[in-house]
Amino acid sequence: MTADQPALVLEQVSRHFGGLKAVDGVNLTVRPGERHAVIGPNGAGKTTLFNLISGELPATGGRVVLFGDEVTALPPHQRAARGIARTFQITKLFPNLTVLENMLLACEALDARKLVMHRALGSYPDMMQRAKAVLADFGLAAFEQETARNLSYGDQRKLEVALSMAGRPRLLLLDEPMAGLSAGESTSMQAILTKLDRSIAVLLIEHDMDIAFAFAERVTVLHQGRVLTEGTKDAVAADPNVQQIYLGTPAQ
């Protein structure tokens, strides 16, 4: 892998549900360490695009290339093994397990010891320490023994992001991490995102334009399954087409 090889390349990626073109011929490149926002109105195909990148949905057309390897036909767990991690817009935790167990699962995911049956998990202090360290990074250390379903919504969202960071990903997909958070919680989540390791490429779906533009260097605007425009945040903000889909046609 060369230093300037893109983290992610999408080539003409499409997903059609019958006649509905949820994602239609999208091209996108994310460089290592880049902060890239995907914005667009409801139904633009943002989450579907994430599902195509992470493998939750197979693409009906095009190619997905991850760190130089084509992964278009691979299932999610094999893409995860190649350095991709994601969060979900609708929180996907292990609700009846403790916060620590949630995190241990995330730490085991890319570790060969996940198939060990003949030793207690507690006999691997390194896994325990790693899980606790990630929880501490996200300010969740106090809730280790709490059942995940009993966490406040804000802490559940933090755990959601924390789980995706446990496997030391090189490309992180964040699907509206701030959705539904109070102003205070949103600020603390933004602080967490700003502090993420700069070597990780991050693709962020965000509805709030202020947050998206504060976070990202480059912005892709999706509209009806297609890329409307892509560029630096200043160029995108100045684009009249973008203003039109967000604000409507200017009065004559």
Partner 1 sequence: MAGRRPGRNSVAIALAVALLVVAPPLLPSYWVGLLTQMVILAILAMSLDILLGYTGLPSLGHAAFFGVAAYAVAVLSVRYGANFWVCVLGGILIGTLLSAVLGLIVSHVRDVYFLMITLAIGMVLWGLGHRWIPVTGGDNGISGIPPLEVHAGLPFQGPLALHYATLVVFLICAGLMRLVVRSPFGLTLRGIRENEGRMKSLGFNTWLHCYLSFVVAGAFASVSGVMWAYYNGFVSPTYLDLTASSELFLMVTLGGPSTLVGPMIGAGAIVLLKNVMSAYTARWLLILGIVYIVAILAAPQGLWNLRKRPSA
Interface contacts to partner 1, rule CB under 8 A: 54-56, 75-77, 80-81, 85-86, 88, 92-98, 100-101, 104-106, 108-111, 113-122, 124, 127, 145, 147, 149-150, 163-164, 166-167
Contact assessment for residue 45 and residue 222, using Cβ atoms and an 8 Å cutoff: yes
Minimum CB distance to partner 1 smaller for 55 or for 228: 55
Question: Looking up tokens 């996940």, which residue turns up?
Answer: 114
Contact assessment for residue 100 and residue 33, using Cβ atoms and an 8 Å cutoff: no
Minimum CB distance to partner 1 smaller for 124 or for 213: 124
Roughly how many angstroms between the first and final C-alpha of the chain, as a whole number? 53
Minimum CB distance to partner 1 smaller for 165 or for 236: 165
Residue 181 C-beta: closest distance to partner 1, Å: 20
Alpha-carbon radius of gyration of the chain:
19
Residue 140 C-beta: closest distance to partner 1, Å: 16
Residue 112 C-beta: closest distance to partner 1, Å: 10
Minimum CB distance to partner 1 smaller for 105 or for 179: 105
Cα-based distances in Å from 195 to 36, 154, 200, 215: 15, 18, 11, 11
Say what the alpha-carbon torsion angle 5, 27, 87, 17 is, to the nearest 10 degrees: -140
Helices (H), the chain: 46-54, 76-81, 99-108, 125-137, 153-165, 183-194, 209-215, 233-238, 240-247
Minimum CB distance to partner 1 smaller for 99 or for 228: 99
Helices (H), 8-122: 46-54, 76-81, 99-108
Distance (Å, rounded) from C-alpha 235 to C-alpha 219? 9
Q: How does strand 226-232 pair with strand 218-223? A: antiparallel
Minimum CB distance to partner 1 smaller for 115 or for 251: 115
Minimum CB distance to partner 1 smaller for 92 or for 198: 92
Residue 93 C-beta: closest distance to partner 1, Å: 7
Residue 187 C-beta: closest distance to partner 1, Å: 26
Distance (Å, rounded) from C-alpha 113 to C-alpha 131? 15
Residue 24 C-beta: closest distance to partner 1, Å: 24
Residue 46 C-beta: closest distance to partner 1, Å: 17
